[in-house]
Amino acid sequence: MHPGYYLTLTWILFLLFSSNVSFSAEAEVLLKDSFETGTRTPENWQTGFNVPGVRYVYDKGRGKTGDRSLSLQKSARRYFPIAQWYRLLPYQGEQQKLQVQCEVRAEQTTKAIVDALFLDENKKSLGHQWLCYIGAKESGESPVSHDWKNYTGSAEIPENTKQIVIGLQIYGPGKVWFDDLEVTLTGESAPVKPEKTENAIEVPLNGETGEYLLITPQDKSDNEKPHALLIVLPGGDGSADFHPFVKRIFENALSDDFVLAQPIAKKWTADPKVVWPTKNSQTANVKYTTEELIAAVIKDVSGKQKIDSRRIYLLAWSSGGPAAYAALLQKETDIDGALIAMSVFKPDQLPDPANAKQRSLYLLHSPDDKVCPYYMAEAARDTFKKTDVRTTLVDYPGGHGWKGNVYGNIRQGIEWLQKSD
């Protein structure tokens, strides 16, 4: 998780220890607030960091049902540190499900969140959960704008929770208003996400089950011919939510002889610190690494489709990048090359780059990227070139995310990887 989140958490905990905060104490409805009472701020609500480029607005002239709402307005073109309005709620029940609904108005919002942070009796964090996401969910999508709209979400309440912090947050640039917030307990206990991804193919791994989604050529070409295989590790939370975008990659960026497999990132904990854990980043809760998942997917797909073993590639971006580096740098792997976009490069957490001498690396990065700095892509290029790995770095304008000719840029990278064969 980005260090900016922990700075925000530290600030919240400091204020909780040093402030006299009053609580809502209804039995099943933890909070119901339309922000109609208050002077400079609504009663019982506080602001987080004083973030440059962010305005905390207690808007007394714009509300969904009443006259007032809470707003965050960000002009700075960066995602961290997080700015938020927040409120502390007591919790005395057994493990239950937390539900929230909120009216939201958005104006060119890139990313805003309704968040729940869970604390124990010592105000130590037990993790947090995004309840509502307002903004572009897929890379390359435009910021969202809409009038008042109802958002809902839910989360499991961790064991030993004594307090819950509800945060109304903004990450990227844009404006967002919140009103008619309601937080309740349902008494249910259910996982945040279903155990099995719909339409996913399962692969056994170390006593656990990995999952991936498969796209085959079908009507695109003769299925009797050997196919190239592209393994896609999405950024963000690595979930199946990226599959519509991945489908468009298959349709618009790949030649007719490709098969595409999208592994699904498994949530080993309620609040995973690493989306795609590798051999060097896994924790005790992680039962298989991303390298092992990729190998299992390649083996399984090869049993279902005729795959050209000389044309197996990776595509990864953002949070998927570190695992793609790790997989490419294994001493023994079926991977022939990787296209890694807009990601970080941390060589001290990776195997020896010399392991990839017979493979290729295509780096796609924006010099304007403020989330994953461009110098990391330059460092990756220089590191791999020193070990005689076929490497290139291609720039694109616009900053972090899929910008401009998205599918053309991906197509160019995949074609470059194939030319090295």
Provide the token pair at 263.
Answer: 């592994």
Given a contact cutoff of 8 angstroms between Cβ atoms, the answer to whether 231 and 263 are in contact is: yes
Q: Could you tell me which of 144, 342, 378, 363 has the C-alpha nearest to residue 234?
A: 342
pLDDT at 142: 86
pLDDT for 9 beyond 60:
no
pLDDT at 88: 93
Average pLDDT of the residues of the chain? 87
Residue given tokens 């207690």 in the structure block: 58
Using N-to-C axis directions, what is the helix angle for 243-253 and 406-419, rounded to 10°? 60
Per-residue pLDDT band at 212 (split at 50, 70, 90):
very high
User: Is pLDDT larger for residue 261 or for residue 192?
Assistant: 261
Chain-centroid distance of CA 387 in Å reads 32
pLDDT at 11: 53
pLDDT at 92: 80
The residue type at 263: P
Residue given tokens 């304007």 in the structure block: 368
pLDDT for 351 beyond 60:
yes
Q: With 0.75 as the threshold, say if the pTM is over it.
A: no
Compute, in degrees rounded to 10, the torsion defined by CA atoms 269, 275, 279, 283: -20
Residue 196's contacts (CB-CB under 8 Å, 6 or more residues apart) are: 202, 211
Other CB atoms within a 10 A radius of the CB of residue 233 amount to: 29
pLDDT for 95 beyond 60:
no
Q: How far is CA 58 from CA 12, 41, 331, 358, in A?
A: 19, 6, 57, 59
Per-residue pLDDT band at 12 (split at 50, 70, 90):
low
Sign of CA dihedral 216, 363, 325, 317: negative
Mean pLDDT of 148-170: 92
Indicate the fold that domain 3-185 takes in CATH. Jelly Rolls (2.60.120)
pLDDT at 284: 72
Other CB atoms within a 10 A radius of the CB of residue 363 amount to: 24
Chain-centroid distance of CA 356 in Å reads 28
Determine which helix (DSSP H) or strand (DSSP E) holds 297, and give its type and residue range.
Answer: helix 290-304
pLDDT at 131: 92
Candidate from 19-28, 29-38, 161-170, 220-229 with smallest mean pLDDT: 19-28
CATH of segment(s) 201-419 = 3.40.50.1820
Chain length of the chain: 421
Per-residue pLDDT band at 158 (split at 50, 70, 90):
confident
Candidate from 23-37, 41-55, 294-308 with smallest mean pLDDT: 23-37
Candidate from 79-83, 122-126, 193-197 with smallest mean pLDDT: 193-197
pLDDT at 94: 63
Same CATH topology for 3-185 and 201-419: the answer is no
pLDDT digits (tens, 9 = 90+) for 175-205: 999 999 999 987 644 433 444 667 899 999 9
Given a contact cutoff of 8 angstroms between Cβ atoms, the answer to whether 315 and 230 are in contact is: yes
> Domain coordinates of the chain in residue numbers?
3-185, 201-419
